[in-house]
Amino acid sequence: MSPSRAPAVWRRATTILTGCMLAAGLAGCAGAAPELEMNAAAKLQQQVLEVTKSAAGGNPAAALKSLDRLSSDLDAAAAAGHVSFKRHRSVTAAINSVRADLTAAQAAKKAAAEAAAQAAAAKPTAAPKPLPTTAPEVVVPAPAPAPVPVPANSGRQDNSSKGSSEGNKDKGSGKNKD
């Protein structure tokens, strides 16, 4: 049973009990031997009101306690002859129906409370996260480039080879003496 259905269950329980008690009260006003004496009816109706208030207030445990008192007072009134056997049986049937509804509502309320407690326990706490404990990064400079090898002639060009411009100075342009 879902928590959203619980009020409907309590309304049903209240309606059943109230209807039984009103019928019992009206039957007590009849001219024949009453099925329920007026004093007993007033006392039982007061107890039905307690059950109704507890159930409507969303407290099925208190409603069940009130229902237990109602049941024992009904049994005592029947034993004293203030309630007929027929009336006792019909009111007891109504009480049992209401008891089943209230027990289901109480179980649903307990299950919802347990589910909420489990959800709260599973929720992570808001503790601060520890800072990372890694060592600081050390930056190592790149090695310097290797020196470029210097030629043995210290970078001077050897102009003694053929084809150089100095070696052909005596040859004029257009003159090929070779």
Query: Any idea what DSSP says for residue 148?
Result: P
Question: Does residue 120 have a pLDDT over 70?
Answer: yes
- State the CATH class of domain 6-121: mainly alpha
C-alpha to C-alpha distances, 27 to 34, 35, 41, 80, 84, nearest whole angstrom: 6, 6, 10, 18, 11
Give the residue with greater pLDDT, 97 vs 33. 97
Question: Is 2 a residue whose pLDDT tops 50?
Answer: no
Q: Among 97, 78, 98, which residue's Cα sits nearest to residue 88?
A: 78
Going by pLDDT thresholds of 50, 70 and 90, the confidence category of residue 1 is very low
Residue with the bigger pLDDT between 40 and 22: it is 40
Which two three-digit tokens encode residue 100? 């089943």
Residue 35 confidence (pLDDT): 83
Q: What is the pLDDT of residues 38-75, one digit of tens each?
A: 898 899 999 989 988 988 888 888 989 999 999 999 99
Q: What digits encode the pLDDT tens for the residues 166-177? A: 555 555 555 555
SS3 71: helix
